[in-house]
Amino acid sequence: MQPYPITAMALCNGMGDSTAAVLAALRAGRSGLGPCPAEFELDAVVGAIPSPLPALPRLLGPVRDTRQARIAAVALAELQAPLERARARWGGDRVAIVLGTSTGGIEASETAYAHAEAHGGALPPDYDVEHSHALDAVLHLARVLGGGLGGPAYVVSTACSSSAKVFASAQRLLAADLCDAVLVGGVDSLCRLTVRGFAGLEVLSSKPCRPFSRERAGINIGEGAALLLVERTGEGPARLLGVGESSDAYHMTSPHPEGLGARLAMERALHHAGLFAGDVDHVNAHGTGTKQNDSMESAAIRAVFAGAAAPAVVATKGYTGHMLGAAGATEIAFVVDAIAGRYLPASVGADPLDDTLAVDVVTARRDVPTRAALSNSFAFGGSNCSVLVGGPA
Annotated catalytic residues are 160, 286, 322
CB atoms within 10 A of CB 139: 18
Alpha-carbon distances of 382 from 211, 259, 287, 365, rounded to whole Å: 20, 10, 15, 31
Q: How far apart are CA 296 and CA 183, in angstroms?
A: 32
Q: How far apart are CA 304 and CA 313, in angstroms?
A: 13
**Cis status, amide bond into 50, omega within 30 of 0:** no
* Single-letter residue type at 283: V
Q: How far apart are CA 74 and CA 53, in angstroms?
A: 8
* Single-letter residue type at 362: V
Q: How far apart are CA 192 and CA 189, in angstroms?
A: 10
Contact 358, 133 (CB under 8 A): no
| Region for 197 from its dihedrals, namely left if φ exceeds 0, alpha if ψ lies in -120 to 50, beta otherwise | alpha
Of 21, 48, 24, 30, the closest CA to residue 349 belongs to: 30
Length of the chain: 393
Q: How far apart are CA 47 and CA 316, in angstroms?
A: 12
Q: How far apart are CA 24 and CA 20, in angstroms?
A: 6
Contact 289, 210 (CB under 8 A): yes
Q: How far apart are CA 319 and CA 215, in angstroms?
A: 17
Rounded to 10 deg, the angle between the 67-78 and 106-118 helix axes is 150
